[in-house]
Chain A
Amino acid sequence: MEALALQGGFSDASVEAALAFRAVMRAMARPGTVEHVAGAVPPAPLSAAAGVVMLTLCDPGTPVHLAGEADCAAVRDWITFHTGAPLVGRERAAFAVGTWPDLLPLEGYPMGLAEYPDRSATLIVELNVLEARGARLTGPGIAREVALSLPETVAFQANAARYPLGLDFVLTCGDRLAALPRTTRVEAN
């Protein structure tokens, strides 16, 4: 294991994880809201925000799928060292991380069960742009409507149509993140 893998974790785990969780929770509760997070310096190609989310939520109990370019030795070592999460194929993933094209198609991930819709994957989608313009979002957590730069709309609409089953998304870009739970209704603008 490279020495690099040992670096870039939280320096004060209980406080940094608490702050990061609050940001992720606000994002998940208010789809489209962009939050800043800090504390993780993961190896490329992971964004700081994706690293923070994984340090905050992943552990030996959460199988992680690394999609496409994210599946490299540096990232594998870093996640193993800092979280202990087992690395798995998409069909077993509790979390998956990668760019939108690398994560597709969405059909392969656990969508939850009728009696346990919570047993579904959360996808951490690495984006080059994350801003409050583009697709129109409505639904729980949104007072009227908000706009968010999504990589596409059709896949998210198909995901929402499976409700209460479905995937939930954390969209990351640099040190910023937003979230898109399965309840959000997405329309192209």
Chain B
Amino acid sequence: MSDYNFAYLDEQTKRMIRRAILKALAIPGYQVPFASREMPMPYGWGTGGVQVSAACLTPGDTFKVIDQGADDTTNAVSIRKFFEKTAGVATTEETARASIIQTRHRIPEEPLTEDQILVYQVPIPEPLRFLEPSEVETRKMHSLEEYGLMHVKLYEDISQHGAIATAYAYPVKVEGRYVMDPSPIPKFDNPKLRMAAIQLFGAGREQRIYALPPYCEVVSLDFEDHPFEATRADHDCDLCGASDSYLDEVIMDDAGGRMFVCSDTDYCRSRRAAGHVGAQGAPYEEGRP
């Protein structure tokens, strides 16, 4: 891979992405169009996040990649390897040690700091897309701050189900202006969107970048009589005993046996390393999963 430039992208492409990132930070929640490049991995597999990460990385960075909260999911492994090869950066699985974290579908449990950057992979950046398929129309709606359609949709949920039937990619309003798709994170993660770190969102196939500066006001859309509720499985982690983390449900046998474990694998590991043991967990041993 030494034939390629640092972090794969050529300098002109990086400049174009960097300019888009700066405008995205200046207009929080607004989707900046950018000339997404064809990457050596498929669209829909993190090309937006990869381009944003490539434009941000410096040789001194420590890079972490998670998919579904886990460092060892195959696509996370593949993206981490890509940057090890093309940028020669150090990588880590420890949230606290990472300076840039690229994520798909989760926000780490451990609060991020001012020195960190969280890069999201985004499939469909337009929060209004499934209500209005036309980009021409949704762009108009954002410009006019016309979000009635979204409220109608959420309200229809309530009248049909008694609750808002959106469990992930739950729409938010940023700084009282733009409605934004936080990417398909579970709504459990929505309250974490107001954080100390810089958050960058990259949608490669859809050619959009958007951002949340630190401490930006991010409000999950709701109604006074149906306030937003961040939900998780009503269990503790069976490995580390955490009662505050988002849980994956794992099917154990044919008889309906199941256990609940932290989706954030580093969070779970560090808790177990600190001596926490869940209902079905064994004491932590260095080097064992």
Contact = CB atoms under 8 A, between A and B. Distances in A.
Whether A and B touch (Cβ < 8 Å) is answered with: yes
Interface in A13-36: 13-15, 17-19, 21-22, 24-26, 28-30
B217 A17 contact: no
Nearest to A142: B215
A182 interface: yes
Contact of A141 (B20, B142, B216): B216
B12 A59 contact: yes
A39 B2 CA distance: 24
Contact of A14 (B11, B32, B144, B178): B11
Contacts of B59: 15, 18
A21 B55 contact: yes
A25 B211 CA distance: 11
Pairs of residues from A and B, 5 with the lowest C-beta to C-beta distance, nearest first: A181-B26, A141-B213, A118-B23, A14-B6, A114-B143
A182 B14 contact: no
A21 B26 CA distance: 15
22 contacts: A14-B7, A15-B6, A15-B59, A18-B56, A21-B14, A21-B18, A21-B55, A21-B56, A28-B213, A29-B198, A29-B213, A57-B19, A59-B12, A62-B19, A114-B143, A116-B33, A118-B27, A118-B30, A141-B213, A181-B26, A183-B26, A183-B213
Interface residues of B, number: 45
Given A28-B22, A56-B15, A182-B27, A164 B56 contact: no
Contact of B23 (A15, A26, A168): A168
Contacts of A13: 11
Nearest to B34: A118
Contact of B215 (A14, A28, A140): A140
B198 A140 contact: no
Contact of A115 (B58, B114, B143, B198): B143
Interface residues of A, number: 38
Contacts of A14: 5-7, 11, 14
B161 interface: no
Interface in A31-69: 56-59, 61-62
Contacts of A118: 20, 23-24, 27, 30, 32-33
Nearest to A168: B26
Interface in A101-125: 114-118, 120, 122
Nearest to A164: B27
A143 interface: yes
Contacts of B240: none
Interface in B194-217: 196, 198, 211-217
Contacts of B193: none
A163 interface: yes
B167 interface: no
B23 A17 contact: no
Contact of A25 (B25, B27, B196): B25
A53 B193 CA distance: 29
Interface in B162-189: 175, 177-178
Contacts of A56: 15, 18
Interface in B1-48: 5-7, 11-12, 14-16, 18-28, 30, 32-33
A57 B28 CA distance: 20
A80 B96 CA distance: 43
